[in-house]
Amino acid sequence: MVSRYLSVALVPVLLLIPRPNGPGRVAVAAEYSKTDLDYEFGDYRGKWCIDDHGFVYSIGEVYYPSPTSCPCTCTIDGPVCVRPKCPRIHPRCTRIRYKACCPVCEAMARVCVYGGKTYRLLEEFRVRKIQTSQSLLPTLSQPQVHSELLTERKYAAYLQERKERSYLREDL
């Protein structure tokens, strides 16, 4: 019982004893002996630009801070990074690459999926949900997906015209 109390009393004393500098221990004071002035660039504004990685660019030079960023121009007031007007991504694009300033479409869909059903290009289908006497008739065309909103009268005229066209085709 006495030995347990003795070991508990010796632990704080052992923590206060300084350890000798061995081969594995390096004096850290030498690393901090330089002043902060040795690491400062001074006032470099109006002379050049420095990016996040430490690269220096002269006034008027265009550079890319990272592979996915837009170009920056070094000016007297500092770097100016302007995103250019990027082209719109096509609605049928299924895979977009974001490894440049502007996103790029890598793959286009050859079919349209709506409501869990797959439709071919140029195939027409009717959406069953009718909202306040209007129906939506999506038409799939080659460059884009077009949707036309028709009132009930226009829709009835559309159906009549289609019916007449089908009669004309049968007569041929």
Choose the final residue of a domain: 88, 108, 128: 108
Q: Is residue 116 part of a domain?
A: yes
Same domain, 100 and 56: yes
Looking up tokens 């923590």 gives 15
pLDDT value at 171 more than 80? no
Is residue 121 within 8 Å of 136, Cβ to Cβ? no
| Number of domain units in the chain | 2
Same domain, 93 and 120: no
Same domain, 48 and 104: yes
When pLDDT is cut at 50, 70 and 90, the band that residue 167 belongs to is: low
Looking up tokens 């990027």 gives 86
Q: Is residue 101 part of a domain?
A: yes
| Domain limits for position 141 | 110-171
Q: Which pLDDT belongs to residue 110?
A: 78
Same domain, 97 and 123: no
pLDDT value at 157 more than 50? yes
Instruction: Report d(CA 135, CA 74) in Å as an integer.
Output: 55
Looking up tokens 């009132």 gives 151
Amino acid letter, 51? D
Q: Is residue 93 part of a domain?
A: yes
Q: Which pLDDT belongs to residue 3?
A: 52
Same domain, 121 and 104: no
When pLDDT is cut at 50, 70 and 90, the band that residue 59 belongs to is: very high
When pLDDT is cut at 50, 70 and 90, the band that residue 92 belongs to is: confident
Q: Which pLDDT belongs to residue 114?
A: 78
pLDDT digits (tens, 9 = 90+) for 47-58: 788 888 888 999
Q: What is the pTM of this model?
A: 0.36
Instruction: Report d(CA 8, CA 11) in Å as an integer.
Output: 6
Q: Is residue 68 part of a domain?
A: yes
pLDDT value at 60 more than 90? yes
pLDDT digits (tens, 9 = 90+) for 102-132: 999 998 877 777 788 888 777 888 877 655 4
Q: Which residue has the higher pLDDT, 101 or 170?
A: 101
pLDDT digits (tens, 9 = 90+) for 5-40: 545 454 444 445 555 554 544 444 444 445 554 445
Same domain, 152 and 127: yes
pLDDT value at 82 more than 80? yes
